[in-house]
Amino acid sequence: MKSQTLFARSAVAAWAALVAAGFAAWDRYDRTPGAAGTAPPHGRGPGVTAYLHPHCPCSRATVSELAALADGAGSGAVTVVFVLPPGTEPGWERGPALDAAGRLGLAVRCDAGGAEALADGAATSGHVVARDAAGRVAFAGGVTPARGRAGACPGRSAVAAVLAGGEPPVPDAPVFGCPLFSPACEREGPCRP
């Protein structure tokens, strides 16, 4: 009887350790940013432009954050650009993130081949560039605290400051999402750093 109890306790302890290790690995993955891009110092006029992979599950959190930031900022203040990697077929961009962006009232367009994203230094889905009234890049980076998670973070605060006409508290922040130029990001699968 004692050996069975000892075995049961050992099995429960091993299971709990595996679960804890799994959650730790998941959290570490969620907090691992994608490749950092470099936005040019000047460019188009003022406003916020976000570059998203249409099928990155993390894009939905970025769309949610952008919609909240755009609320009250004026029409056209925030634009979401869905990057279509070279070789993708027409209509490939359709999915939950594009639908959500349109439904939430964000300006939406597609960047076939990714030339615009490359010009703005975007490499990872969720890369946001915020330009001040003079067209100067005031912030470039992500607006979510981790992969697929909405919530307060330095990037969101920076974009809010730029939209309000102020100086951002930080010039950049990590971007969490799929590589923009990889069609391999699965519609329902996890992001691949």
Q: Are residues 87 and 8 in the same domain?
A: no
> Residues 8-56: pLDDT tens digits?
666 555 555 555 545 444 444 444 555 555 555 555 678 999 999 998 8
Q: Are residues 70 and 117 in the same domain?
A: yes
* Residue 185 scores a pLDDT above 80: no
Whole-number pLDDT of residue 170? 96
148 in a structural domain: yes
189 in a structural domain: no
117 in a structural domain: yes
Q: Which of 20-34, 69-83, 159-173, 179-193 has the lowest mean pLDDT?
A: 20-34
Q: Are residues 88 and 154 in the same domain?
A: yes
Q: Are residues 152 and 75 in the same domain?
A: yes
Q: Are residues 26 and 52 in the same domain?
A: no
Q: Are residues 5 and 60 in the same domain?
A: no
Q: Are residues 17 and 53 in the same domain?
A: no
Whole-number pLDDT of residue 165? 92
**Global pTM?**
0.77
Q: Are residues 57 and 133 in the same domain?
A: yes
Cα distances (Å, whole numbers) of residue 167 to 68, 107, 148, 149, 156: 19, 24, 27, 25, 13
182 in a structural domain: no
User: Would you say 180 and 85 are in contact if contact means Cβ atoms under 8 Å apart?
Assistant: yes
39 in a structural domain: no
Q: Are residues 56 and 146 in the same domain?
A: yes
69 in a structural domain: yes
Cα distances (Å, whole numbers) of residue 164 to 123, 136, 138, 191: 27, 15, 12, 32
Whole-number pLDDT of residue 48? 95
Q: Are residues 125 and 73 in the same domain?
A: yes
6 in a structural domain: yes
Please provide the average confidence, as pLDDT, over all residues in the chain: 80
Q: Are residues 151 and 71 in the same domain?
A: yes
Domain enclosing residue 3, as ranges: 1-30
> Residues 77-120: pLDDT tens digits?
899 999 988 888 888 888 889 999 989 889 999 999 899 999 99
150 in a structural domain: yes
Of the pLDDT bands very low, low, confident and very high (cuts 50, 70, 90), residue 186 is very low
Whole-number pLDDT of residue 192? 41
Whole-number pLDDT of residue 147? 80
Domain count, the chain: 2
Whole-number pLDDT of residue 68? 92
CA nearest to 185, candidates 71, 34, 62: 34
- Express as a percent the part of the chain with pLDDT over 70: 72
Q: Are residues 163 and 111 in the same domain?
A: yes
Q: What does the alpha-carbon distance between residue 123 and residue 180 come to, in Å, rounded to a whole number?
A: 6
CA nearest to 128, candidates 31, 14, 34: 34
